């Protein structure tokens, strides 16, 4: 759902992003930045899970591949 906000943004930064990413509007730049921020945050959250799951050492995944 689109929201209207009043933001004070660095004009030089916006122009640089518009040139680098070939974005057509400020809204597109902000939308892309927010999506990338969210994805990066979600990846960091997933990384914290590494090493926290205990696996059964006796589990043999190759037996799952056998066709009956």
pLDDT per residue as tens digits for the range 7-26: 898 999 888 888 888 878 88
**pLDDT number for residue 68:** 66
Share of the chain above pLDDT 70, in %: 97
* pTM value > 0.95: no
**Tokens 């990413």 map to which residue?**
21
Helix axes of 11-21 and 26-47: crossing angle, nearest 10 degrees: 80
Burial class (CB in 10 A: 0-12, 13-18, 19+), 23: middle
Q: What pLDDT, on the 0 to 100 scale, is given for residue 1? A: 67
Q: Tokens in use for 50?
A: 């590494």
> Taking the CA of residue 37 as centre, how many other CA atoms within 13 Å lie in the half-sphere pointing to its CB?
6
């Amino acid at each position: 759902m689109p929201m209207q906000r009043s933001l004070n943004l660095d004009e030089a930064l916006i122009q640089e992003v518009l040139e680098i990413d070939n974005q057509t509007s400020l809204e597109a730049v902000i939308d892309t930045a927010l999506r990338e921020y969210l994805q990066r945050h979600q990846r960091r959250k997933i990384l914290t899970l590494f090493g926290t799951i205990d696996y059964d050492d006796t589990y043999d995944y190759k037996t799952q591949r056998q066709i009956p």
